[in-house]
């Protein structure tokens, strides 16, 4: 029998820096007191301890501890929640949605709930659409209502003054407003001054009826949510142009296609979804949460295997991940009884995602912007979802179905068992990707050499990266040299370097060199086999026009995406990912 926990995590200098800053236990003086191996042993034992609730034998528990350890120590699967818990055993979901009704009691109750969650590091989404518009009459007092934006400022102020100085992580909110709310213009413009609502991401909830009005050049009715009466009618094209203009200037708001989200809602019998978590990948019902983890796809590359992918191991890790995340729900620190009821007793949502997608494509020598790349994305995500659902179904037979199973699409489709109402989510995986030393989520390479800065999770340290897959490809072609890599570092791109052949340039196109339609096709490929949503930023060049942003929204709707986030380069003074000045010049030319 092999030694327990026998794999030694292999971390380079940057990975170790991230582990020290973000994940490893520290003593009272702030000195790191464990290794990555120690951390993964500690986490694996904790997650496997939930098995005792289901009468798993001691021998099977030890085997699961080893299995959980192996997939983490080899960086095949990572979940941020237990890693940044740092031994406190207060496992929380990273994303929540809280309800907001049109009353001061509801608003301040929700503010109190958000404080409880934020101080432990959660990100929270809210739908402000039920709040009456600014200037409308409050019947109990006869005075004018202050409107949704004023209460967003209240939540933002609370985060900044009370929480961000002492919470586990920087507090983050997602504010949602429907496109047919009378205050929608104010909402769209709310962050054109980026010094405002600094703790908020904003998204407009776009409806099918709005998109029809936009396409036909007609008007939309803006309705007072408190009375249901039409407050005004506005040209749909004007509102879409306003969104595009604001995104062009400040990268906000994002948009979510709320009707598409509800068409794919796996528990329609429980309620309609109206909001998402902080980054948009998790549409949730009020008080719902979701436990997330990601599979590092480039760890499953194998040169001589079928299609270059270790399919058998990918299936094994996917199934282990389902069990791992379901165990996390059992161990979860739910803070509020309402959260306990809908998450543990109700829907038990988990979300297995992926990271390292661009790295895997580079290893396989498949361009990101290609039909072959899109088809492989569909195949891999379908494979992950099918294995995850099958494992969840098996757990349902053993442990019991989620309580709302008979209100779900699974029951209507003839499934007999399902432990979890959802099993797949594509999250952004920012810091986890840095720790796994791979590209984030399903994004293309931002640049082939770049820096990361303005990241609170890493104490705002500046970290430089050079693409190792590119180095490997250049060595295979006998082209690698320090001089050549200095050229790459100077621009972040290889598109204008004459010594590099076109076949390599084709593989290593960066995010700004990939046309927006390919970004959308790739997002749609993953969304097709994802229960929840796909967090992806469509990075566009500084020269992109407002009209081109509008066209992205049209295409995204036709592809049945659940949401779109567009970031125009240099639309903000501070950004996390940065290329050099020569790369900026190049982006303007191409």
- pLDDT attached to residue 159: 81
Which residues are known to be catalytic?
277, 279, 281
Provide the whole-model pTM. Answer: 0.93
| Residue 588: pLDDT band with limits 50, 70, 90 | very low
- pLDDT attached to residue 104: 92
The answer as to whether 572 is a domain residue is yes
Same domain, 80 and 190: no
Per-residue pLDDT tens digits for 248-278: 999 999 999 999 999 999 999 999 999 999 9
- pLDDT attached to residue 542: 93
| Residue 379: pLDDT band with limits 50, 70, 90 | very high
- pLDDT attached to residue 1: 46
- pLDDT attached to residue 589: 26
- pLDDT attached to residue 460: 56
- State yes or no: pLDDT of 145 exceeds 70: yes
Same domain, 577 and 489: yes
Distance CA 312, CA 371 (A): 25
Report yes or no: 81 and 91 within 8 Å, Cβ to Cβ: yes
- 3-state SS track over 157-196: HHHHHHHCCCCCCCCEEEEEEECCCCCHHHHHHCCCCCCC
Same domain, 210 and 349: no
Distance CA 345, CA 252 (A): 36
Same domain, 201 and 65: no
Same domain, 80 and 140: no
| Region of poorest pLDDT, from 342-346, 522-526, 578-582 | 578-582
**SS3 call for 510:** coil
- pLDDT above 70 coverage of the chain, percent: 92
Distance CA 519, CA 515 (A): 7
Q: What is the mean pLDDT of the chain?
A: 91
Same domain, 99 and 85: no
**SS3 call for 348:** coil
- pLDDT attached to residue 585: 38
DSSP class per residue in 526-578:
HHTT-SS-B--EEEE-TT--HHHHHHHHHHHHHTT-SEEEEEETTSSS--SEE
Per-residue pLDDT tens digits for 411-434: 999 999 999 999 999 999 888 999
Q: Which residue, 123, 120, 149, 121, is CA-closest to 135?
A: 149
| Region of poorest pLDDT, from 48-57, 237-246, 392-401, 488-497 | 488-497
Whole domain around residue 154: which residue ranges? 95-276
Same domain, 119 and 259: yes
Per-residue pLDDT tens digits for 175-222: 999 999 999 999 999 998 878 898 999 999 999 999 999 999 999 999
CA separation, residue 201 to residues 102, 126, 574 (Å): 21, 11, 15
Distance CA 10, CA 463 (A): 19
- pLDDT attached to residue 491: 85
Distance CA 114, CA 162 (A): 12
The domain tally of the chain equals 3
Q: Which residue, 344, 205, 229, is CA-closest to 283?
A: 205
Same domain, 248 and 303: no
Which CATH number characterizes residue 157's domain?
3.20.70.20
- pLDDT attached to residue 170: 66
Mean pLDDT over 355-379 rounds to 97
The answer as to whether 420 is a domain residue is no
- State yes or no: pLDDT of 100 exceeds 60: yes
Report yes or no: 351 and 282 within 8 Å, Cβ to Cβ: yes
- pLDDT attached to residue 574: 59
| Residue 307: pLDDT band with limits 50, 70, 90 | confident
The answer as to whether 289 is a domain residue is no
The answer as to whether 478 is a domain residue is yes
Same domain, 198 and 179: yes
| Residue 167: pLDDT band with limits 50, 70, 90 | low
The answer as to whether 129 is a domain residue is yes
């Amino acid at each position: 029998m092999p030694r327990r926990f026998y794999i030694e995590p292999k971390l380079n200098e940057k990975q170790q820096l991230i582990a020290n800053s973000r994940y490893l236990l520290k003593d009272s003086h702030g000195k790191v007191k464990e290794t990555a191996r120690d951390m993964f042993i500690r986490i694996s034992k904790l997650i496997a301890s939930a098995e005792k609730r289901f009468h798993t034998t001691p021998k099977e528990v030890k085997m699961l501890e080893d299995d959980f350890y192996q997939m983490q120590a080899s960086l095949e699967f990572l979940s941020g929640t237990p890693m940044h818990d740092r031994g406190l055993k207060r496992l929380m979901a990273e994303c929540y949605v809280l309800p907001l009704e049109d009353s001061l009691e509801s608003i301040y109750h929700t503010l109190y709930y958000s404080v409880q969650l934020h101080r432990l590091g959660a990100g929270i989404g809210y739908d402000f659409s039920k709040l009456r518009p600014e200037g409308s009459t409050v019947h109990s007092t006869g005075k004018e209502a202050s409107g949704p934006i004023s209460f967003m400022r209240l939540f933002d102020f609370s985060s900044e003054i009370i929480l961000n100085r002492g919470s586990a992580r920087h507090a983050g909110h997602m504010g949602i407003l429907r496109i047919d709310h009378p205050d929608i213009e104010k909402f769209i413009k709310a962050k054109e001054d980026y010094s405002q609502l600094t703790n908020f991401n904003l998204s407009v909830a776009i409806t099918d009826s709005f998109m029809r009005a936009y396409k036909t050049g007609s008007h939309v009715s803006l309705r007072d949510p408190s009375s249901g009466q039409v407050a005004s009618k506005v040209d749909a094209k004007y509102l879409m142009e306003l969104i595009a203009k604001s995104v062009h200037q400040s990268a906000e708001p994002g948009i979510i296609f709320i009707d598409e989200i509800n068409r794919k809602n796996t528990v329609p019998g429980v309620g309609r979804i109206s909001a998402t978590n902080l980054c948009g990948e998790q549409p949730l019902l009020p008080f719902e949460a979701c436990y997330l983890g990601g599979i590092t796809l480039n760890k499953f590359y194998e040169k001589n295997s079928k299609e270059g992918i270790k399919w058998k191991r990918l299936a094994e890790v996917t199934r282990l991940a389902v069990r791992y995340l379901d165990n996390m729900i059992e161990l979860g620190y739910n803070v509020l009884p309402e959260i306990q009821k809908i998450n543990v007793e109700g829907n038990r949502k988990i979300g297995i995602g992926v990271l390292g997608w661009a790295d895997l494509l580079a290893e396989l020598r498949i361009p990101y912007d290609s039909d072959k790349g899109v088809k492989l994305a569909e195949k891999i995500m379908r494979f992950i979802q099918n294995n995850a659902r099958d494992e969840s179904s098996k757990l349902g037979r053993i442990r019991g179905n989620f309580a709302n199973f008979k209100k779900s699409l699974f029951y209507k489709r003839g499934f007999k068992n399902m432990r979890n109402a959802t099993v797949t989510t594509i999250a952004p995986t920012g810091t986890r990707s840095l720790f796994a030393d791979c590209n984030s989520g399903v994004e293309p390479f931002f640049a082939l050499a770049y820096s990361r800065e303005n990241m609170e999770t890493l104490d705002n340290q500046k970290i430089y990266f050079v693409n190792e897959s590119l180095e490997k490809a250049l060595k295979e072609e006998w082209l690698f040299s320090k001089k050549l890599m200095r050229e790459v570092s100077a621009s972040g791109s290889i598109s204008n370097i004459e010594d590099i052949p076109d076949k390599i340039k084709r593989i290593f196109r960066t995010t700004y060199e990939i046309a927006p339609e390919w970004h959308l096709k790739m997002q749609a490929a993953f969304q097709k086999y994802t229960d929840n949503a796909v967090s992806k930023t469509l990075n566009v060049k500084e020269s992109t026009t407002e009209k081109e942003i509008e066209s992205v929204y049209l295409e995204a709707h036709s592809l049945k995406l659940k949401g779109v986030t567009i970031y125009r380069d240099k639309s903000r003074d501070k950004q996390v990912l940065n290329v050099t000045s020569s790369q900026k010049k190049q982006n303007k030319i191409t």
